[in-house]
Amino acid sequence: MSLRLYFSPASPYVRKVMVAAHEKGVADQVEKLPSKAWPTDRDQTIVRDNPSGKVPTALLDDGTPLFDSRVICAYVDTMAGAPDLYPGSGPERFRVLTLEALADSVLDAALLCRYEAVLRPEELRWDDWYKGQMEKIDSGLDDLEARWMDDLANGAHAGAIAAACAIGYLDFRFADKDWRSSHPKLAAWFADFSSRPSMQATMPA
């Protein structure tokens, strides 16, 4: 069982998949395919397998495509035994899934801010739009701090991986954003989680 993955070293969603693969011990079974995914100039090689043209997109041995990152991480979880990235059933499974979705919502908003600042011509930028996305980031971080710390501290499951990759993207692309002073528990958790070999091996470039 192996996986071919359209890869971008700066993509936080690709990082999610690779952190998951490292945690499962199957990173050597993931073949990284070069890609040029970009919102305004889509890589037609990816489009052939995923109409959105986004990374990550993965291909199974028989050529079957998988997307998006949540689906691919779920597949990675089947590539080897313990540790489980997703609990098998019951309330714990849905807490992990919900935490992953929350982290991805923070990441979605961060990417929209990035695109607004980098892709949109300066004279067409919409300050209220940017502010609205930043508010989504802040409310997501607030929720992680207030309600999810016990879950985050419960190992390297898919929800924790997603949260770490979202926060890592903030540090990578929004280094001047001081989220730590208002989220001390989250900051301490992230510092510890970031020391994991899986996180160190997948630092964005």
Please tell me the predicted confidence (pLDDT) of residue 135: 98
CATH number at residue 191: 1.20.1050.10
- Please say if the pLDDT value at position 114 is more than 90: yes
Taking every pair of C-alpha atoms in the chain, what is the biggest distance, in angstroms?
Answer: 52
Q: What is the pLDDT of residue 170?
A: 98
Q: Is residue 34 part of a domain?
A: yes
Spatial separation of the C-alpha atoms in residues 15 and 164, rounded to whole Å: 10
Gap between the Cα atoms of 132 and 124, Å rounded? 16
pTM of the model: 0.96
Per DSSP, the three-state class of 63 is coil
Mark whether 116 and 160 lie in a shared domain: yes
Residue 58 burial class via C-beta count within 10 angstroms: exposed 0-12, middle 13-18, buried 19 and up: buried
Statement to judge: residues 195 and 106 lie in one domain: yes
**Do both 106 and 42 map to the same domain?**
no
pLDDT higher than 80, residue 51:
yes
Given a cut of 80, whether residue 37 has pLDDT beyond it is no
- Mean pLDDT to the nearest integer, 102-111: 98
Which value, in Å, is the radius of gyration of the alpha carbons in the chain?
17
Asked whether residue 42 carries a pLDDT value surpassing 90, the answer given is: no
Per the structure, the complete domain to which residue 55 belongs is given by 3-76
Confidence of residue 205 (pLDDT cuts 50, 70, 90): confident
Residue 41 has pLDDT above 90, yes or no: no
Chain center to CA of 4: 18
- Are 38 and 104 part of one and the same domain? no
Q: Report CA dihedral (69, 71, 77, 78) to the nearest 10 degrees.
A: -140
Q: In this structure, are residues 3 and 79 in contact, taking their beta carbons and an 8 Å threshold? A: yes
Neighbours of 14 (CB within 10 A): 27
Per-residue pLDDT band for 15 (boundaries 50, 70, 90) equals: very high
Percent with pLDDT over 90 in the chain: 87
> Residue 139 burial (CB < 10 Å; 0-12/13-18/19+)?
middle
3-class DSSP assignment, residue 33: strand
Query: By percentage, how much of the chain surpasses pLDDT 70?
Result: 100
Report if residue 122 sits inside a domain: yes
Whole-angstrom distance, CA of residue 169 vs CA of residue 48: 28
| Residue 49 and residue 128 in one domain | no
Instruction: Give the pLDDT confidence score for residue 122 in this predicted structure.
Output: 87
pLDDT exceeds 80 at position 64: yes
C-alpha to C-alpha distances, 135 to 99, 105, 145, nearest whole angstrom: 18, 12, 15
How confident is the model at residue 192, as a pLDDT?
A: 98
pLDDT for res 112: 95
At 133 the pLDDT is 97
Mean pLDDT within 92-109: 98
CA distance 29 to 60: 11
- Identify whether 85 is part of a domain: no
pLDDT of residue 33: 95
Task: Summarize pLDDT for 116-172 with one digit per residue, the tens.
Answer: 998 888 888 899 999 999 999 999 999 999 999 999 999 999 999 999 999 999 999
Q: Residue 36's pLDDT is what?
A: 84
Cβ atoms within 10 Å of 104's Cβ, excluding its own: 22
* Peptide bond before residue 56 is cis, with ω within 30 degrees of 0: yes
Give, rounded to a whole angstrom, the gap between the first and last alpha carbons of the chain. 28
